[in-house]
Structures are given as C-alpha cells and as structure tokens.
Amino acid sequence: MRQNTPQQIRSPRIFQWTIAGLLCVGLVGLTLGLPHSPAARADVEAQFTFFPINTATSTRTPTPINLGNFVWDDIDGDGAQDAGEPGVAGIQVQLWNSAKSLLVAATTTSGTGSYALVAPTPGNYRIRVILNAGDFFTAKDLAAGDDTKDSDINPSGLDAGFTDIISIASNVISMTSIDAGIVVFKTPTPTRTPTPINIGNFVWGDTNGNGIQDAGETGVGAAQVQLWNAAKTELFYTAYTNASGAYTVIAPTPGDYRIRVVVPIGVSFSPKDQGGDDLKDSDINPSGTNLGFSDSFTIASNVISTTSWDVGLINAPASFPTPSPTLTRTPTQTPTPSPTPTLTPIVLDQRLYLQSLHRP
Ligand SMILES: [Ca+2]
Ligand SMILES: [Ca+2]
Ligand SMILES: [Ca+2]
Ligand SMILES: [Ca+2]
C-alpha cells in the first residue's frame, strides 16, 4: 500500500508558507519604501487622489409643511373658540412670506371653516385672512393662553389681517393652531312690531258689596280707567267705560302694568279677589298703599288681550258724568309762501338799438 498521503498534504502547506513569506517581504519592502516625512507622505497621497470619491450629500427632500386650520364665528367676541360657535365657510386664507411681499399660497375655508395651506419649505411666514364686508376680527391670543382655542390674526395695526411671523423649524411638518376668530356680520333681527294689548273689561255696581258680579248687578258708565306701569310712575292710557260698563285700555308693549280706577268721593271699591272666579271678581285694591290700583300684572309677549280685570264699585251711580271732550286744537295753518316773481328776460335787439343811435 503506497503511503503517499502525507505528501499530498505537505505539498499545499509548502505552497501556503511560500505565499505568506512573499507577502511579508513585500509588506516590509513597501513600508520601508514609503516616505516618512509628513510633507513627502502628503505628496504621495496626492498622487492617489486623481479620482476623488463622491460622497452622497443627503439633501433634505423638501417636505411641505401643512398649516391650518380653523376660521370660526366668534359670536360672543371673546376671542375664544367656544361651544356653539361655528366655523365660517368660504373665507379666503393666504400664506405670505414674513415680509408680506410674496404670496405663497391661497385657499378658502371649507364648509366647516377649516383650511389647509402648504408651506414649501421651513422658514418664516404669515397667514392672512381676508374678511367679508361687515365682518371684523376678534382680539388675538386670548382663550386663557390656549393657542389651540384662540385667534392668531392681528385685528388692527400694520399687520391687520395677518398673523405675526410664524417660524417653521426644519423638523416641523404640520401646524394646526393658526386660527382666525371673526365676528360675522348678522342682519339685525327685525324688532317685534309692538302689538297693542287690549286689557279690560268691566266696571260694575256691586249692589250687595260682596265683590262678586252677581246677576242683576249692572255696569257703570263713564268710569275712568287708567293703565299705569307697575311702579305707578307712568300713565300709559286712559279710557272710560261705555254705557254697559265695558272698557278697554291699551298696553303699548308686553310688560308689567297696573289698572287704576278713579272714583269720586263717596264711591268705594268692592273687596278684591272674592269667590275664586277671576272672571266674576273685582281686582282693585279697596284700601292700602295701592288703593284704587290693581296689583301689578305681567303681560307676556304672546298675549294680545286680557279681559278679566274687573272693578266692583260700591255706591256707584249707573253712570258717572260724561267727561267733557277735550277740545282738539286746530292746527295752525302753514302760510303759503308767496310765489317768487319770474323775471322775463329782456332781449335787446342790437340792430334797433344801433338804428336809434343813428336816427336824426
Ligand atoms: Ca367665543
Ligand atoms: Ca392659535
Ligand atoms: Ca256682587
Ligand atoms: Ca278678575
């Protein structure tokens, strides 16, 4: 059996040692051959820089920055976004450079009052909001210091309509707290046409003095009935009962009033609020500080007539003397201005004039 196995193994090992030896010699030679002074080394290194290596500079991809986002109707004008204050649709919002010399972008608010503008790069900007006629801005930076709930637009001054300068740092991709409070002009609600309220309606002779309108007790004519304010400081209306004892006084507007009845000496008032039926009782105080007056009552805004204010009189005649009518003053006649005389222009015929001069 041939024992050649070690040779076969030894042969490549000799080759490996040979290669290693050559590499060591080469390395030593190269090391010895390199110049050792810094200047000489730099010179050598310069010879290997014919082909500079391009290192990729990581240029920042311009990330657009989203700016926003709300224009709202600051109904109470306090500069804060309160519950129930809606966004305002269709308002123009613009992005400007900080110097206000370059319009960068523009948009209008959505149906809910939101907006979004895109700043191309970080930097200094301003947001501008264009008002509609009649609207005005609320004060900025209120809302108890909550930037997400305040307004950021200058309402007046050199920067009116603009925010202050907004600096967007390079690491910012979105700002959503740039809001605008607008008090939107509202067509004034037409004031309620004052509907006169009829208040009445019966003054009667309370024959048995029980304060109740009994069968057989009839109305008193020509009794003077007045309508006063609750404080009894202002007289609104005076009326007289008709022959049947019915009256109507007219309150100009809803409010608090009193009925007053003026009676001559010898006539007194029935006891008030007897019997539990307001349509059949008397409502005038027969004594006390409100003698002759009803208690004050409120006419609500939906009331157009109330007819339960009745007055029982004791010792009243069937009718008081009819008051003498107040003489209506005849209005003074406005003097008719005398007509301005019209001047007829006199036309001079120049030829006739010249002829007259030459006439012998
Ligand atoms: Ca508010
Ligand atoms: Ca804000
Ligand atoms: Ca009675
Ligand atoms: Ca009554």
Q: Looking at per-residue confidence, does 342 or 244 come out higher? A: 244
Report CA(217)–ligand 3 centroid distance (Å): 7
What is the CATH classification number for the domain harbouring 85?
A: 2.60.40.10
Indicate whether 352 pLDDT > 60. no
What is the average pLDDT across 234-257?
A: 95
Q: How confident is residue 327, by pLDDT bands cut at 50, 70 and 90? A: low
Least reliable range by pLDDT among 9-18, 83-92, 183-192, 307-316: 9-18
pLDDT of residue 322: 83
pLDDT of residue 262: 94
Residues 152, 251 within the same domain = no
Indicate whether 28 pLDDT > 70. no
Least reliable range by pLDDT among 3-7, 102-106, 218-222, 280-284: 3-7
Q: Which domain holds residue 205?
A: 197-314
| Model pLDDT for residues 167-190, shown as the tens digit of each residue | 999 999 999 999 999 999 988 777
Ligand 2 ion: nearby residues, β-carbon < 5 Å: 147, 150, 152, 177, 179
**Mean of pLDDT over the chain:** 83
Indicate whether 208 pLDDT > 60. yes
Report CA(234)–ligand 4 centroid distance (Å): 23
Q: Is residue 255 part of a domain?
A: yes
pLDDT of residue 136: 95
Residues 69, 170 within the same domain = yes
Report CA(359)–ligand 1 centroid distance (Å): 96
Residues 81, 26 within the same domain = no
Ligand 1 ion: nearby residues, β-carbon < 5 Å: 74, 76, 78, 80, 82
Q: Is residue 40 part of a domain?
A: yes
Q: Is residue 137 part of a domain?
A: yes
What is the average pLDDT across 265-280?
A: 96
pLDDT of residue 74: 96
pLDDT of residue 337: 65
Q: Is residue 352 part of a domain?
A: no
Indicate whether 39 pLDDT > 90. no
Indicate whether 31 pLDDT > 90. no
Indicate whether 318 pLDDT > 60. yes
Report CA(322)–ligand 4 centroid distance (Å): 25
pLDDT of residue 187: 83
User: Of 314, 333, 348, which residue constitutes the final position of a domain?
Assistant: 314
User: What 3 state SS string does the chain have?
Assistant: CCCCHHHHHHHHHHHHHHHHHHHHHHHHHHHHHCCCCHHHHHHHHHHCCCCCCCCCCCCCCCCCEEEEEEEEECCCCCCCCCCCCCECCCCEEEEEECCCCCEEEEEECCCCCEEEEEECCCEEEEEEEECCCCCEECCCCCHHHCCCCCCCECCCCCCCCEECCEEECCCCCEEEEEEEEEECCCCCCCCCCCCCEEEEEEEEECCCCCCECCCCCCECECCEEEEEECCCCCEEEEEECCCCCEEEEEECCCEEEEEEEECCCCCEECCCCCCCCCCCECCECCCCCCCCEECCEEECCCCCEEEEEEEEEECCCCECCCCCCCCCCCCCCCCCCCCCCCCCCCCCCHHHHHHHHHCC
Residues 71, 43 within the same domain = no
pLDDT of residue 229: 96
Q: How confident is residue 303, by pLDDT bands cut at 50, 70 and 90? A: confident
Residues 81, 32 within the same domain = no
Residues 98, 125 within the same domain = yes
Q: Is residue 322 part of a domain?
A: no
User: Of 124, 153, 183, which residue constitutes the final position of a domain?
Assistant: 183
Report CA(177)–ligand 1 centroid distance (Å): 16
Indicate whether 279 pLDDT > 90. yes
| Model pLDDT for residues 210-229, shown as the tens digit of each residue | 999 999 999 999 999 999 99
Residues 71, 175 within the same domain = yes
Tally of domains in the chain: 3
pLDDT of residue 324: 72
Residues 41, 104 within the same domain = no
Q: Is residue 2 part of a domain?
A: no
Residues 179, 71 within the same domain = yes
pLDDT of residue 202: 97
Percentage of residues of the chain with pLDDT beyond 90: 64
| Model pLDDT for residues 52-107, shown as the tens digit of each residue | 556 665 555 667 899 999 999 999 999 999 999 999 999 999 999 999 999 999 99
Residues 36, 116 within the same domain = no
